[in-house]
């Protein structure tokens, strides 16, 4: 019997629905359950063919446990080695090389020295930095956030140079990004599972929470949806994520990838709505079964992205950037009238901060 496990934290609806859906399918010799850990011994398996990881970004013990499970043959969704290495600034740099529009972004060193370091640890870093070049590149207003953070923690809107000095002083040891503000006309959040299943959701981050996914805007054009699908597939296939979301802010008809390092994205029914919840439960369950059937003990059953695979093969890291076609693409429906959206929408100017990395 091959077991599929899900490792999770505070979320409620998705883990149970995921387990139930797999077991309802009654695939021969495949079952699903919540992961249970009572001990971790080096090089010894946990007893799962597949583990879907929804929490190790917050629990280092789980991350180390999943790496140990992977070396014994467990297919971990998402790859814990790559997830440990990845961060938002690299994501943006990769997008630039792939030709995918992203906001102009600069990396800032931490305001305070990391523990165990002194000024002598930074003798290669110019002081002061070329702030004029950084500000000219990014522009104002801008947003500042941790280069590897999420959940809207430590995100600041920056109006000018003095505002940056004031807020940068609050960041302590955090390494920050300074990112161009995108004033947007439309916004999309997209699930991607298995680097081939895509769910496009028009999204309004300023709406009341229950109307962010079904916000009543006119449907996007086929051209826009095709472009977004292409970008979602390229990013996930290069990064190697099995389960991720990508967010786009559309300015002047161009979708800018705002946030695409979300390997444990929100999937609560109360957040995403029933239709999107049904899609993510069904697609994740079907994909986990597919991975369980392909899993082989004592083998590497992880997904490695095209960026890593090209490096190992000694091939050009960025090729023609042609994404494998999606196996299926769906678009979230709308459940109320545009008139309701107009009443509820805040009256302030349309702008986007650098979106959160979801857990």
Predicted pLDDT at 335: 44
Same-domain status, 247 and 293: yes
- The pLDDT confidence band at residue 320, using thresholds 50, 70 and 90, is low
CATH number, domain of 239, equals 3.30.470
Average of per-residue pLDDT across 218-236 = 94
Same-domain status, 302 and 327: yes
Predicted pLDDT at 107: 98
Same-domain status, 215 and 317: yes
- The pLDDT confidence band at residue 321, using thresholds 50, 70 and 90, is low
Average of per-residue pLDDT across 144-152 = 83
Q: Is residue 70 part of a domain?
A: yes
Predicted pLDDT at 330: 82
pLDDT digits (tens, 9 = 90+) for 25-44: 999 999 999 999 999 999 99
Locate 288 and state its tokens: 């986990």
Residue 263 has pLDDT above 60, yes or no: yes
pLDDT digits (tens, 9 = 90+) for 95-110: 999 999 999 999 999 9
Q: Is residue 219 part of a domain?
A: yes
Domain boundary (180, 212, 243) is at 180
Residue 94 has pLDDT above 60, yes or no: yes
Same-domain status, 206 and 155: no
- The pLDDT confidence band at residue 269, using thresholds 50, 70 and 90, is very high
Same-domain status, 54 and 195: no
Q: Is residue 316 part of a domain?
A: yes
Same-domain status, 203 and 304: yes
pLDDT digits (tens, 9 = 90+) for 163-194: 999 999 999 999 999 999 999 999 999 999 99
Question: Where is pLDDT greater, at 173 or 320?
Answer: 173
- The percent of residues above 70 in pLDDT, for the chain, comes to 89
**Which distant-in-sequence residues (6+ apart) come within 8 Å of 47 by Cβ?**
3
Domain coverage including residue 283: 186-344
Size of the chain, expressed as the number of residues it contains: 359
Residue 215 has pLDDT above 90, yes or no: no
Same-domain status, 339 and 302: yes
Domain boundary (141, 156, 180) is at 180
Predicted pLDDT at 69: 98
Domain boundary (180, 206, 234) is at 180
Residue 195 has pLDDT above 80, yes or no: yes
Same-domain status, 108 and 172: yes
Same-domain status, 253 and 312: yes
Q: Is residue 92 part of a domain?
A: no
Q: Is residue 97 part of a domain?
A: no
Same-domain status, 339 and 190: yes
Q: Is residue 10 part of a domain?
A: yes
Residue 9 has pLDDT above 90, yes or no: yes
The rounded distance, in Å, linking the Cα atoms of 181 and 105 is 10
Q: Is residue 155 part of a domain?
A: yes
**Domain total of the chain:** 3
Same-domain status, 213 and 340: yes
Q: Which residues of 28-46 are buried (b: 16+ CB within 10 A; e: fewer)?
A: eebebeebeeeeeeeeeeb
């Amino acid at each position: 019997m091959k077991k599929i496990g899900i490792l999770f934290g505070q979320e409620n609806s998705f883990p149970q629905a995921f387990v139930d859906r797999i077991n309802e399918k009654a695939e021969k010799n495949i079952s699903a359950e919540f992961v249970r850990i009572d001990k971790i011994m080096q090089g010894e398996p946990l007893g799962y063919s597949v583990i879907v990881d929804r929490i190790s970004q917050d629990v280092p013990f789980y991350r180390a446990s999943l790496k140990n499970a992977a070396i014994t043959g467990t297919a971990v969704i998402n790859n814990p080695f790559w997830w440990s290495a990845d961060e938002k600034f690299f994501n943006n740099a990769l997008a630039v090389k792939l030709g995918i529009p992203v906001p102009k972004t600069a990396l800032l060193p931490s305001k305070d020295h990391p523990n165990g370091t002194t000024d002598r640890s930074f003798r290669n870093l110019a002081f002061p930095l070329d702030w004029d070049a950084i500000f000219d590149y990014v522009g104002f207003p801008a947003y500042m956030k941790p280069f590897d953070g999420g959940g809207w923690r430590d995100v600041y809107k920056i109006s000018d140079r003095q505002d940056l000095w004031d807020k940068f002083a609050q960041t302590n040891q955090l390494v920050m990004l300074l990112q161009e503000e995108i004033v947007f006309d439309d916004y999309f959040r997209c699930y991607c599972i298995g680097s081939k299943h895509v769910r496009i959701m028009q999204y309004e981050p300023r709406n009341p929470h229950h109307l962010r996914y079904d916000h009543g805007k006119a449907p996007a054009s086929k051209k826009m949806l095709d472009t977004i699908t292409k970008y979602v597939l390229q990013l996930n296939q290069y990064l190697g994520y099995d389960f991720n979301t990508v967010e786009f802010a559309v300015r002047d008809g161009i979708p800018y990838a705002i946030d695409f390092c979300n390997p444990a994205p929100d999937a609560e029914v109360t957040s995403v709505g029933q239709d999107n919840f049904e899609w993510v439960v069904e697609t994740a369950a079907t994909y986990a079964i597919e991975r369980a059937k392909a899993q082989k003990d004592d083998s590497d059953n992880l997904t490695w992205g095209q960026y890593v695979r090209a490096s190992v093969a000694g091939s050009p890291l960025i090729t023609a950037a042609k994404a494998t076609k999606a196996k299926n693409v769906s678009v979230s429906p709308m459940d109320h009238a545009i008139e309701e959206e107009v009443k509820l929408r805040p009256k302030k100017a349309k702008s986007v901060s650098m979106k959160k990395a979801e857990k």
